[in-house]
Amino acid sequence: MSRCICAVFYSCLLLLVCLIVLHGAPIVERWDLAMLKGVQRVAGPGLDDVALFMAVVGGPFFSLLFIGGLSIAYWRRRWVRAMFLFWGLFVLLTGFEVLSKTQIDHPRPPEELKRKVQITGLLRKLPDVTIPTNNSFPSGHCLRAVFLMGILVMFVRSGKRAMDVSVTMVAVAYGIVACWSRIYLGVHWPSDVIGGVLLGALGLLIYSRATLQYSPRHPRE
**How do residues 89-142 score in pLDDT, each as one tens digit?**
999 999 999 888 888 888 899 989 888 776 665 555 555 555 556 788 899 999
Mean pLDDT computed over 49-68: 88
Answer yes or no: are the C-beta atoms of 91 and 160 closer than 8 Å: no
pLDDT recorded at residue 145: 94
CA-based nearest residue to 1, from 217, 215, 212: 212
Q: Is the pLDDT of residue 29 over 50?
A: yes
Lowest mean pLDDT segment, chosen from 34-43, 78-87, 120-129, 193-202: 120-129
Strand boundaries in 102-159, DSSP class E: none
Half-sphere exposure of 88 (CA within 13 A, CB side): 9
Q: Where are the domains of the chain?
A: 2-211
111-115 own/partner pairs: CB under 8 Å, 24+ apart? 113/36, 113/37, 113/40, 113/186, 114/185, 114/186, 114/187, 115/40, 115/43, 115/48, 115/51, 115/184, 115/185, 115/186
Query: Which residues are registered as beta bridge partners of 107?
Result: 135
Answer yes or no: are the C-beta atoms of 59 and 142 closer than 8 Å: no
